Structure 1
Amino acid sequence: MAAVIAAALPLSGHVLAQHAPPAQEKGPNTADAMLHALTVTYPNPYRAMDAADVKAVLDRVLGYLDAVTPAELINKDSHAPIAKLDKPDPDAVLKPGDFRLTSYEWGVTYAGMLAAGSATGDQRYTDYTVKRHQLMADLTRLYLPVVQADKANAHAPIKSFLNPHALDDAGALCMSFLKAQQAGIKVDYSQLVPICGTFVTEKEYRLKDGTLARGGPGADGQPKMRPLANTLWLDDMFMGVPTIALMGKRTGDAKYYDDAARQVLQFSRRMFNPQLGIYMHGYVEGMRDHPELHWARANGWALMAMVEVLDVLPKNHKQYKAVEAQFRAHANGLARYQHKDGLWHQLIDRPDSYLETSASAIYTYAIARGVNRGYLDKEMFGPMANLAWNAVAAKVNAKGEVEGTCVGTGMAFDPAFYYYRPVSTKAAHGYGPVLLAGAEIIEMNRKFKFGLNDSGLMYQGAR
């Protein structure tokens, strides 16, 4: 018999591979009878990763980050540890590690740790966020009066948070505080949330129609060039909008829900290309022509913003369906550009640009969450999310570092800028998305079965 026997591929749980029905003709097989079952060598595992394997990846990330992000204070000159701080000390600073504890990237990481703790049941993830949130609450209590008294000259270990100048200083951190509050975390957020929530909802510069923007008036009365006056960064859909929506849930005030939905739709009207299904990175109000550079991570921030807004926006809100439709349009657009091995390119629609990890991890999270929440069809997007997760997981090295992440990036109107941005394991943008993605994949594969059908990874029913 000329049949070729394929090696068994690893499958999720108890799901068994399904095969084509046997041929009805009698007699010897032709030479091509079983070619469809030949063993395929995939660069990354072609399967739905089980929870234990996902957690093993996340555990490496947790171990690394816990070791290199100390939640401690030291004297800035002597570097001696400060065990207890009962009054504001101008010489106290956070002990330096690999990453800043009060950056927007770490707001995402705190949210990712909370999600991983919930998905895995491992308290260490939750404790990581609680410990650092508690430190920020303690420092805010001590230093906020000092900074408010002299914003220009005061010294504080977390001054950029206590005196925010941009959404980067406040938005993602605020999202993590609000999510932690909703989860019942016993940290006093009574000072933290008003600082960042008020900045995002009331103080950040906006265009005349209320859209969050960069490039408002400077101290000299002239417009700030960020990089041009009245510039929209797609990134700011995430840096501000989830916090606005969460403030609605916290306060019950519908004005926040209205604002969050309006932000999504006004950003999208200016920056989303419906033919391609993806967003441009930068837009300048009043400029007639916009070169469209479809930077991957900014598209990730936009997709994540929408899935976070949908999570709290009341389903009877007048713009709920419009926001959900925009999320679906974007997810469908991104599906067109997924690389054969699971990741997405730095410039999404330019396959000669490099494959980038942080954006791919954000897409994995948002798409899997969309499946779990019913915004996206599990039959189409479940296998896509699993393929993406397997590729992202392969970028977490043995030490727990995330490889292949583009470093911090401004915006530009030429392709060279994006093509040649460096990648680094010290790019903080990769860690939170990996944690969020892994947590959501655990939830998705716990809820739905995915297995092989004629060698293709397919949805196989609810668990």
Structure 2
Amino acid sequence: MNMNPTTLRSALLGALLPLALQASAQQAPAAQEKGPAAGDAMLHALTVTYPTPYKAMDAAEVKAVLDRVFGYLDRVTPAEVINKTTGAPVADLSRPDPEAVLKPGDFRLTSYEWGVTYSGMLAAGAATGDRRYTDYAVKRHQMLAQLTKTYYPTVHADPQHSAAPIKSFLNPHALDDAGALCHSFLRAKLAGSPVDYTQMISICGDFVTKKEYRLKDGTLARGGPDGKGGFKMRPLQNTLWLDDMFMGVPTMAYLGKTTGDHRYYDDAARQVLQFSKRMFNPKLGIYMHGYVEGLRDHPEFHWARANGWAVMSMVEVLEVLPKDHKDYKAVLEQLRAHIKGLASYQTKEGFWHQLIDRPDTYQETSATAIYTYAIARAVNRGYVDAKMYGPMANLAWDAVASKVTDKGQIEGICVGTGMAFDPAFYSYRPTSVLAAHGYGPTLLAGAEIIEMNKKFRFGLNDSALMYQGQ
């Protein structure tokens, strides 16, 4: 059916009415010429069907998404110890019991992914004012503290043969066992949690700062001695994984904050800069995933989640690093360079690809959530310009939110991923709603978006989502 220009203009204005009702929305000025409108009038304002909602969510909308995630996680991660043979609850946690195990759920309460989830719960509680989030982390931290008090003497006395519900934490062998959990303990302590974290922070902080293998220049590394005359080959001798920028470095920085010992700050900043010197590609603005000492060429695959751990590490370090520290400016400039690089790869749906610079790989949720958190945090702290980066952070959050199901599960999360020397490995990694890596970042992202959209106003300006002031 053909419409005359007047009818077309009326229809378009009717379609635009909901936008006009938004106080922050601004449209192109009306034509100054008088008389019948031309046929192309108002075409620039036709309704667009976006695959991802194109808006800045208010706090209530964001919280509704977070509440679904919380409801799911609260149901499937019981904070309970049971007898592994009978399944009966173990009521007395003050005495070591070799039969005691954590009651199984969908996720492990002492994995590095759950260290990030505890941090996300603390952030969501602070942003929303809903104590359920805070209590989730504090309740489980309290249980871990009690188990540490009860079982650490036994594990310490006989690491090989002893049994404990949280043995991987009490006898850590890798940063994955200790770093992210320690970071969550330190964040909670600084936020005023009533849990006594002294013993747990001593165990995990000591491992991260003193026992994890390092290269000769002090950079955290994998592939060190195996204790049997050889080297650990996961993946190769003297290898850097970009992931470890997060698994260890924020813990160092937060130990500086909680102890006042500036040597921790120095170590944290040095790690960021030494990882970046080896692994950041300044032309692309993103990091490679792995680096093997001694190789002439390195496997330069820009895995999305590893880049997420890197950018997240930097915003966490800057959160506590004194501004007068000698390396503060260098860390800040590295963060800005990375965020600028990431910005150029965001897809039209708001996500980032599994291999960031390879559009033929799938759009991945956990990395997108981490970038959302880090970019929004950088906007909120004034590290980057709200006008430039606020809209893309909102689009990224809208993308992440679209992957949260009615049950509160999160789709499109890449499963655990080691380092590889070919693109097929990364490109075909499976995704699963049981991949724990995406839940903490989604909580962190939603919390930071709430804070950003309270601090700054973003709305439609001539149909485009833009910064519109404080």
Same-fold status (TM-score > 0.5): yes
Letter in 1 for 2:243: D
Q: CA deviation at 1:335?
A: 0.4
The answer as to 2:138 corresponding to 1:130 is yes
CA distance in 2 between counterparts of 1:34 and 1:63 reads 45
Partner of 2:222: 214
Partner of 2:432: 424
Describe the shift of the 1:94–1:12 C-alpha distance in structure 2 as closer, same or farther (beyond 3 A).
Answer: farther
Partner of 1:244: 252
The answer as to 2:347 corresponding to 1:327 is no
- Among 442, 446, 449, the alignment partner of 1:441 is 449
Partner of 2:372: 364
Letter in 2 for 1:405: I
- Among 166, 180, 187, the alignment partner of 2:188 is 180
CA distance in 1 between counterparts of 2:98 and 2:250 reads 34
CA distance in 1 between counterparts of 2:34 and 2:229 reads 87
Partner of 2:100: 92
Superposed CA deviations along residues 269-326 of structure 1, whole A, max 9, x for unmatched, are 0000000000000000111011310000000000000000000000011110110000
Note if contact 1:6-1:37 (Cα within 8 Å) is conserved in structure 2.
no
Q: How does 1:53-452 map to 2 (within 5 A)?
A: 53-452=61-460
Superposed CA deviations along residues 351-389 of structure 1, whole A, max 9, x for unmatched, are 010000000000000000000000010001000000000
CA distance in 1 between counterparts of 2:345 and 2:256 reads 34
Describe the shift of the 1:12–1:92 C-alpha distance in structure 2 as closer, same or farther (beyond 3 A).
Answer: farther
The answer as to 2:9 corresponding to 1:27 is no
Note if contact 2:397-2:449 (Cα within 8 Å) is conserved in structure 1.
yes
Note if contact 1:151-1:163 (Cα within 8 Å) is conserved in structure 2.
yes
Superposed CA deviations along residues 403-438 of structure 1, whole A, max 9, x for unmatched, are 100001111010000011000000000100000000
Describe the shift of the 1:8–1:202 C-alpha distance in structure 2 as closer, same or farther (beyond 3 A).
Answer: farther
CA distance in 2 between counterparts of 1:188 and 1:249 reads 17
Counterpart of 2:457 in 1: which secondary structure? Answer: strand
Note if contact 2:94-2:146 (Cα within 8 Å) is conserved in structure 1.
no
Note if contact 2:124-2:444 (Cα within 8 Å) is conserved in structure 1.
yes
CA distance in 2 between counterparts of 1:410 and 1:352 reads 20
Counterpart of 1:82 in 2: which secondary structure? Answer: coil
Q: CA deviation at 1:83?
A: 2.0
TM-score by length of 2: 0.97
Letter in 2 for 1:130: V
CA distance in 2 between counterparts of 1:385 and 1:12 reads 24
Partner of 1:41: 49
Note if contact 2:415-2:437 (Cα within 8 Å) is conserved in structure 1.
yes
TM-score by length of 1: 0.98
Count the aligned residue pairs. Answer: 462
Note if contact 1:248-1:254 (Cα within 8 Å) is conserved in structure 2.
yes
Counterpart of 1:7 in 2: which secondary structure? Answer: helix
Counterpart of 2:469 in 1: which secondary structure? Answer: strand
Letter in 1 for 2:379: V
- Among 24, 34, 51, the alignment partner of 1:16 is 24
CA distance in 2 between counterparts of 1:24 and 1:291 reads 60
Aligned-pair Cα RMSD in Å: 1.3
Q: CA deviation at 1:27?
A: 2.9
Of the structure 1 ranges 129-138 and 78-87, higher mean CA displacement relative to structure 2 is found in 78-87
Q: CA deviation at 1:43?
A: 1.6
CA distance in 2 between counterparts of 1:182 and 1:12 reads 44
Any gaps of 5 or more consecutive residues in structure 2? 1-5
Counterpart of 1:93 in 2: which secondary structure? Answer: strand
Note if contact 1:234-1:298 (Cα within 8 Å) is conserved in structure 2.
yes
CA distance in 2 between counterparts of 1:55 and 1:449 reads 18
Note if contact 1:271-1:281 (Cα within 8 Å) is conserved in structure 2.
yes
Describe the shift of the 1:26–1:8 C-alpha distance in structure 2 as closer, same or farther (beyond 3 A).
Answer: closer
Counterpart of 2:13 in 1: which secondary structure? Answer: coil
CA distance in 1 between counterparts of 2:105 and 2:231 reads 36
Q: CA deviation at 1:9?
A: 8.2
Q: CA deviation at 1:31?
A: 1.4
